[in-house]
C-alpha cells in the first residue's frame, strides 16, 4: 500500500466540532467532534473514494496520483488562552 499526503482544510463549526475539506479530493467533506476525529474520518473517506474509483474503473482524482508522499506540513492549531 502506498501513501500520499493531501492538503486538508479544517474549520470549526458552530455548536462544536470541525469540518474538513480538501482541494486535492473534490467532494471530500468530513465532520467530527475533535480535530483528531475529523482528520481520521477524512483519511477513511479518501481511502473509500480511491477504493470506489478502482472498483468501478473510474479515474483516481488527479491530485492523488501526483502528490508526493513526504512534503512539508503546515498546521494551524487552536491554543486555549488563560
Task: Give me the residue spans of the domains in the chain.
Answer: 9-66
Report the pLDDT averaged over residues 23-36: 92
pLDDT value, residue 42? 94
What residue has cell string 478502482? 54
Report the pLDDT averaged over residues 23-51: 92
Neighbouring-strand partners of residue 10: 20
pLDDT above 60 (res 70): no
Tell me the whole-structure pTM to 2 decimals.
0.76
What residue has cell string 488563560? 82
Rounded to the nearest integer, the mean pLDDT of the chain is 83
pLDDT value, residue 53? 87
Amino acid at each position: 500500500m502506498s501513501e500520499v499526503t493531501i492538503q486538508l482544510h479544517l474549520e470549526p463549526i458552530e455548536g462544536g466540532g470541525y469540518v474538513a475539506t480538501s482541494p486535492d479530493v473534490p467532494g471530500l467533506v468530513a465532520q467530527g467532534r475533535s480535530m483528531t476525529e475529523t482528520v481520521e474520518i477524512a483519511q477513511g473517506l479518501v481511502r473509500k473514494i480511491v477504493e470506489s474509483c478502482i472498483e468501478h474503473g473510474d479515474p483516481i482524482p488527479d491530485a492523488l496520483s501526483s502528490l508526493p508522499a513526504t512534503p512539508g506540513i503546515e498546521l494551524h492549531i487552536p491554543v486555549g488562552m488563560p
